[in-house]
């Protein structure tokens, strides 16, 4: 049995939370070009996961090219895991960030077994701390 995996966010790496029950949250920024060591435990976790379904919430403020490549590798590893029967991905993006939306579309096109939905965020000016309002 694998244990939950939690990696706290830094200025260059996102926060990661993998639960043994099948929840994966990725949030923050991926701006470091050397992400291979960062992704290594995530890919190992995905290979060993024994949950029947997995819900993945991806809320990245920014992701660079190497981050996209490694994220695809992680998601392909999840898809290759035969224990996992259902994969649901929620891709969050800022309403005015067309490039980030397009990245999610490319991801959707490259994955075979995953059900991907898109969730647009708009900045709500009425909130003093610039919280985001999620729209469906």
More confident residue, 130 or 77: 77
Mean pLDDT of 119-131: 60
Find the CATH number of the domain harbouring 83: 3.30.750.24
pTM, 2 dp? 0.85
Q: Tell me, what's the pLDDT at 131?
A: 47
Residues of the domain holding 94: 5-135
Long-range contacts, stretch 9-13, CB < 8 angstroms, 24+ apart: 13/38
Least confidently predicted of 72-81, 105-114, 121-130: 121-130
By the 10 Å C-beta count (0-12 exposed, 13-18 middle, 19+ buried), 4 is classed as exposed
Specify the number of domains making up the chain. Answer: 1
What is the arrangement of strands in the sheet containing 5-7, beginning at the earlier edge strand?
Answer: 5-7, 15-19, 23-30, 53-63, 86-94, 114-123, 132-135
Express each pLDDT in 90-117 by its tens digit. 999 988 888 889 999 999 999 999 999 9
Q: Tell me, what's the pLDDT at 130?
A: 46
Which phi-psi region, left, alpha or beta, contains residue 36 (left: φ > 0; alpha: ψ -120 to 50)?
alpha
């Amino acid at each position: 049995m694998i244990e939950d995996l939690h990696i706290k966010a830094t200025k260059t790496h996102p926060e990661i939370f993998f639960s043994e029950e099948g929840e994966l949250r990725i949030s923050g920024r991926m701006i470091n070009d050397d992400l291979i060591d960062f992704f290594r435990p995530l890919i190992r976790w995905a290979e060993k996961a024994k949950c029947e379904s997995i819900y993945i919430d991806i809320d990245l403020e920014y992701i660079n090219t190497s981050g996209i490549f490694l994220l695809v590798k992680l998601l392909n590893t999840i898809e290759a895991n035969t224990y996992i029967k259902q994969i649901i991905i929620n891709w969050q993006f800022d309403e005015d960030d067309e490039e980030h939306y397009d990245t999610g579309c490319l991801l959707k096109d490259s994955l075979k077994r995953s059900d991907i939905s898109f969730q647009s965020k708009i900045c709500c000016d009425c909130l003093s701390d610039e919280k985001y309002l999620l729209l469906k």
